[in-house]
A and B are shown apart, each in its own frame.
Chain A
Amino acid sequence: MSEYNFAYLDEQTKRMIRRAILKGLAVPGYQVPFASREMPMPYGWGTGGVQVSAATLTPDDTFKVIDQGADDTTNAVSIRKFFENTAGVVTTEETEKATVIQTRHRIPEAELTEDQILVYQVPIPEPLRFLEPRETETRKMHALEEYGLMHVKLYEDISQHGAISTSYAYPVKVSGRYVMDPSPIPKFDNPKLEMDAIQLFGAGREQRIYAVPPHTKVVSLDFEDYPFEATKADHPCDLCGAEDSYLDEVIMDDAGNRMFVCSDTDYCRSRRAAGHEGRLAKEDAA
């Protein structure tokens, strides 16, 4: 479709977004305001991530989109199609082959490398939002590094549930300075935030971009006597037998049968291709 500029956005807009990305990389965890554009999809469907991807993509890139770990859900398919049409880039489902990966709510299981960029879709970039509704006040709290309130939330978790029950969008401190919302990834993924790839976060409706450069220290907040724990369902994957991946629970019938499968579909597929088998692998094939 030659009517579109490469990757849909005009060059001036991409320049503006790249400036925000560079600023975000220079100040890890700091939310950089940017002039978010109207995109041909509704807010909440990844307009922030799409704009960051558009500003990041080059014609030589290989692009992958995942939604909750899966390559084949509506959101992932439509964004992948969008860039196939407007940028003409090669797309893939294989994590290792991709150079730019746009993700919603997961970090891929396969370890990312320095040649890759991970773009997150962020619904609400402000980790303090539900504790302090005033934007003027939260900005001041970030500026003055007043993060006591974040621990109040964790305190409430423990006092009500006996453990830190926040299981996704678990707040982290980046590079010893800014407290950041890692977007709604499960806390299982939090330790992976310290990685070799560049991580960019785009929030379209909230008009914020932030970033974590490679090899940056990312610490999940916790208490001395209630340390951070990366949790997952205590099962192996029923299809590929993996014990180290984050699992989705699928209810099979109304008799209490359920199965656990890797939420990262590419990881599961590649493991099965390599001959690993889980409890229900045979049934699934049939």
Chain B
Amino acid sequence: MTPLLSVQNIRKTYGTRIGCTGVSFDLYPGEVMGIVGESGSGKSTLLNCLAGHLEPDGGRVVFDTRTDGPVDTVTMSEPERRMLGRTDWAFVHQHARDGLRMSVSAGGNIGERLMAVGDRHYGDIRDKAIDWLGRVEIEANRVDDRPTAFSGGMQQRLQIARNLVTGPRLVFMDEPTGGLDVSVQARLLDLLRGLVREMGLSAIIVTHDLAVVRLLADRLMVMKDGHVAESGLTDQVLDDPQHAYTQLLVSSVLQV
């Protein structure tokens, strides 16, 4: 089986400081991988390198494209990479307002990717937008409201709908539950888990919340100071941490 995404020895430095280095892993179709670590451990840098937002200083990110098979996305041309970015890839930002157009209605936000890939039938676009609002548990009568009129949790769900509408195969998520209160987080996680399973998505989730990876991720990678400290099956890593830092991380979670 060909991995959907094969990351080989990715390195990104900011001058002499290390962003992340020596990161390698394979992600198979339908698999969800979590990346955890403390602030400044290089997890967001890594995610941005993988998603093509940052140019890595070394290494390869090989994606199994629908048409041409495995292609290194670091060396592919920018139009191709941006095309991937709005078809087969999706990126869910931590702050919904980074990923949404706040001055455009919910329907327009969801429709943007459809129109970007050439959809030109208003009725169809609107039907799909309403369908997706339903799937992320937003009422259909909010389709013409702007995201500014939405709560934080709704904005985040709208961002997810906007990203998934073109049926991507790989979703990058940067702290998707950050900044939401716990009950809203729980609903969002439930929704995400449902969508990932239903659509057979592969996902890479960056978070510092161990509960999120416990719920969503099949595999886990723990990062520390730009290096991978430990990786393995989620339950294995969380229940039997080997690396000193992972042990610290697991024991830092408050038990309520």
Q: Does A158 contact B (CB under 8 A)?
A: yes
A149 pairs with B82, CB closer than 8 A:
no
State whether B105 touches A156 (Cβ < 8 A).
Answer: yes
Q: Does B121 contact A (CB under 8 A)?
A: yes
Q: Does A148 contact B (CB under 8 A)?
A: yes
Residues on A with C-beta less than 8 A from B69 are none
Q: Are B82 and A144 in contact (CB under 8 A)?
A: yes
| A144-B79, A146-B82 given; A155·B116 CB < 8 A | no
Contacts of A160 in B (CB 8 A): 105, 144
Would you call the interface of chain B mostly helix, strand, loop, or mixed?
Answer: helix
* B:108-151 near A, CB below 8 Å: 108, 111-113, 115-117, 120-123, 125-126, 143-144
Chain A interface residue count: which class? 10 to 19
Tell yes or no: A4 within 8 A of B by CB: no
Query: Quick one: which of B72-110 are within 8 Å of A by CB?
Result: 78-79, 82, 86, 101, 104-105, 107-108
Q: How far is the CB of B7 from chain A (nearest CB, A)?
A: 26
Restricting to A217-268, which residues have a CB under 8 Å from any CB of B? 222-226
Asked if B104 contacts A152 (CB within 8 A), the reply is yes
* Pairwise interchain contact A148-B79, C-beta atoms closer than 8 A: no
Q: Which chain A residue lies CB-closest to B106?
A: A159
Check if A81 is an interface residue, CB within 8 A of chain B: no
Contact with B along A142-176 (1 / 0, CB 8 A): 00101011011001101110000000000000000
What residues of A have a CB within 8 angstroms of the CB of B115 in the complex?
Answer: 148-149, 151-152, 155
List residues of A (20-77) whose CB comes within 8 Å of B's CBs: none
A131 to B102, CA, bound (A): 11
Smallest CB-CB separation from A130: which chain B residue? B103
Q: Is the CB of B82 within 8 A of A148?
A: no
Do B121 and A225 touch (CB < 8 A)?
Answer: yes
Contact, CB under 8 Å: A152 / B111:
yes
What's the least CB distance linking A171 to chain B, in Å?
13
Question: How distant is the Cα of A152 from the Cα of B101 in the complex, in angstroms?
Answer: 10
Rounded to whole angstroms, the CA-CA distance of A155 and B109 in the bound complex is: 10
* Residue in A closest to B146 when the chains form the complex, CB atoms: A156
Q: Which of A148, A152, A155 contacts B117 (CB 8 A)?
A: A148
**How far apart are A158's CB and chain B's nearest CB, in angstroms?**
6
Within 8 A of A (CB), among B201-224: none
Complex Cα distance A225/B101, Å? 24
A131 and B144 CA atoms in complex are apart in Å by 17
Cβ of A156 and Cβ of B108 under 8 Å apart? yes
**Residues of A with C-beta under 8 A to B111:** 152, 155
Q: Are B112 and A152 in contact (CB under 8 A)?
A: yes
Q: Which residues of A contact B122 (CB under 8 A)?
A: 155, 158, 223-226
Chain B residue contacts of A146, Cβ below 8 A:
82, 116
Q: A159-B108, A159-B126, A225-B121 are in contact. Are A149 and B144 (CB under 8 A)?
A: no
**Would you list which residues of chain A between 176 and 227 have a CB under 8 Å from chain B?**
222-226
Asked if B108 and A152 sit within 8 Å, CB to CB, the answer is yes
Complex CA distance for A144 and B126, rounded to whole angstroms: 26
The CB with the most chain B CB atoms within 10 A, among A144, A148, A224, is that of: A148
From A149, A156, A158, A224, B120 is in contact (CB under 8 Å) with A224
For residue A172, give the distance in angstroms from its CB to the closest CB of chain B: 15
* Chain A residue at smallest Cβ distance from B117: A148
Q: Shortest CB–CB separation between residue B109 and chain A, in angstroms?
A: 8
Are the C-beta atoms of B116 and A159 separated by less than 8 Å? Answer: no
Q: How far is the CB of A62 from chain B (nearest CB, A)?
A: 43
Q: How far is A151 from B125 in the complex, measured between Cα atoms in Å?
A: 11
User: Which chain A residues lie closer than 8 Å to B125 at the CB level?
Assistant: 155
Q: CA of A160 to CA of B120 in the docked complex: distance in angstroms?
A: 18
- Expressed in whole angstroms, the minimum distance between the Cβ of B61 and any Cβ of chain A is 20
Q: Which residues of A contact B143 (CB under 8 A)?
A: 159
The distance in angstroms between the C-alpha atoms of A159 and B144, with both chains bound, is 7
| A223 CA / B108 CA spacing, docked (Å) | 14
Known: A144-B78, A144-B82, A152-B104. A225 touches B123 (CB 8 A): yes
Q: Select A149's contact among B105, B107, B112, beta carbons within 8 Å.
A: B112
Q: How far is the CB of B105 from chain A (nearest CB, A)?
A: 6
Across the two chains, which residue of chain A brings its CB closest to B143? A159
Instruction: Give the complex CA separation of A159 and B107 in angstroms.
Output: 8
From B79, B82, B108, B113, A155 is in contact (CB under 8 Å) with B108
80-137 of chain A: CB within 8 A of chain B: 131
Q: Are A148's CB and B116's CB within 8 A? A: yes
Tell me the B residues contacting A by CB distance below 8 Å.
78-79, 82, 86, 101, 104-105, 107-108, 111-113, 115-117, 120-123, 125-126, 143-144
Known pairs A131-B101, A159-B108. 8 more at Cβ < 8 A?
A146-B82, A149-B116, A152-B104, A155-B122, A155-B125, A156-B105, A159-B143, A160-B144
5 example contacts (A-B, Cβ-Cβ < 8 A) are as follows A152-B115, A155-B107, A159-B105, A159-B143, A224-B120
